[in-house]
């Protein structure tokens, strides 16, 4: 007489109907069919119902594990941003900054090809600016900053100020769900510095 092995898994190990779902999940990840293939009727219940219950339990457990993994990934991102901010030298401001809401862009020549990131300047001075964008970016090499300075009179034209600069920090501004990038201006192109200085002197009367 041949004994049934329907309640036995790999290597003849007996599988309990109430074994922890974590064990089934771990086994299913190694061999997707093995964790469920040998489930037999218990107390007269149809095997198909037991399989469905097991599948639902495994799916729920897998979703929980995925949520936990996503939480750890978010923690890793926040920690890496904090480490970048701490590892960079402190930003010493020689100029007073003023709140603005100007169109701006950062251009990097690092890696393969040119990369352009668009955003907004939230404050600016003759020494640098705070740049808001949707991307978590950080360049170690000198990059180009472009500022769209609005006209002082109605109907005037915007002035594009271009300056080479370096990034001081990148942090996540949680309140607005954007990344805040600190830029230090190194050298202005053409009359960019004069144009920016004249605008700030007129608009904010700081001179």
For residue range 77-135, list pLDDT tens digits in order. 777 666 655 554 444 557 888 999 999 999 987 666 788 999 999 999 999 999 999 99
pLDDT in tens, 155-195: 889 999 999 999 999 999 888 889 999 999 999 999 999 99
What are the residue ranges spanned by the domains of the chain? 10-86, 94-204
CATH of domain 94-204: 2.40.10.220
Q: What is the mean pLDDT of the chain?
A: 77
DSSP the chain: -PPP-TTB-GGG-B--TT--HHHHHHHHHH-TTHHHHT---STT--HHHHHHHHHHHHHHHHHHHHHHHHHHHHHHHHHHHHHHHHHSPP---SS--EEEEEEEEEEE--SSS-EEEEEEEEEE-SSEEEEEESS----SS-EEEEEEEPPSSTT---EEEEEEEEEEEEEEETTTTEEEEEEEEEEE-TTHHHHHHHHHHHHH---
């Amino acid at each position: 007489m041949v004994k049934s092995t329907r309640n036995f898994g790999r290597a003849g190990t007996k599988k309990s109907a109430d074994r922890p779902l974590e064990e089934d999940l771990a086994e299913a990840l190694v061999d997707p069919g093995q964790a469920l293939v040998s489930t037999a009727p218990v107390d007269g219940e149809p095997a198909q119902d037991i399989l469905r219950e097991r599948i639902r339990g495994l799916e729920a457990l897998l979703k929980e594990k995925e949520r936990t993994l996503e939480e750890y990934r978010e923690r890793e991102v926040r920690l890496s941003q904090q480490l970048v901010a701490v590892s960079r030298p402190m930003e010493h401001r020689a100029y007073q900054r003023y709140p603005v809401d100007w169109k701006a862009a950062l251009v990097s020549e690092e890696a393969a090809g040119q990369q352009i990131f668009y955003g907004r300047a939230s404050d600016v001075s003759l020494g640098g600016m705070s740049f808001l964008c949707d991307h978590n970016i950080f360049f170690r090499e000198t990059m180009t900053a472009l500022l769209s300075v609005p006209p002082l009179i109605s109907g005037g034209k915007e002035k594009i100020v271009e300056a080479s600069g370096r990034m001081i920090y990148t942090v996540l501004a949680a309140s607005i769900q954007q990344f805040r990038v600190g830029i230090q201006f190194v050298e202005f192109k053409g009359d960019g510095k004069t144009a920016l200085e004249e605008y700030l002197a007129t608009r904010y009367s700081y001179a």
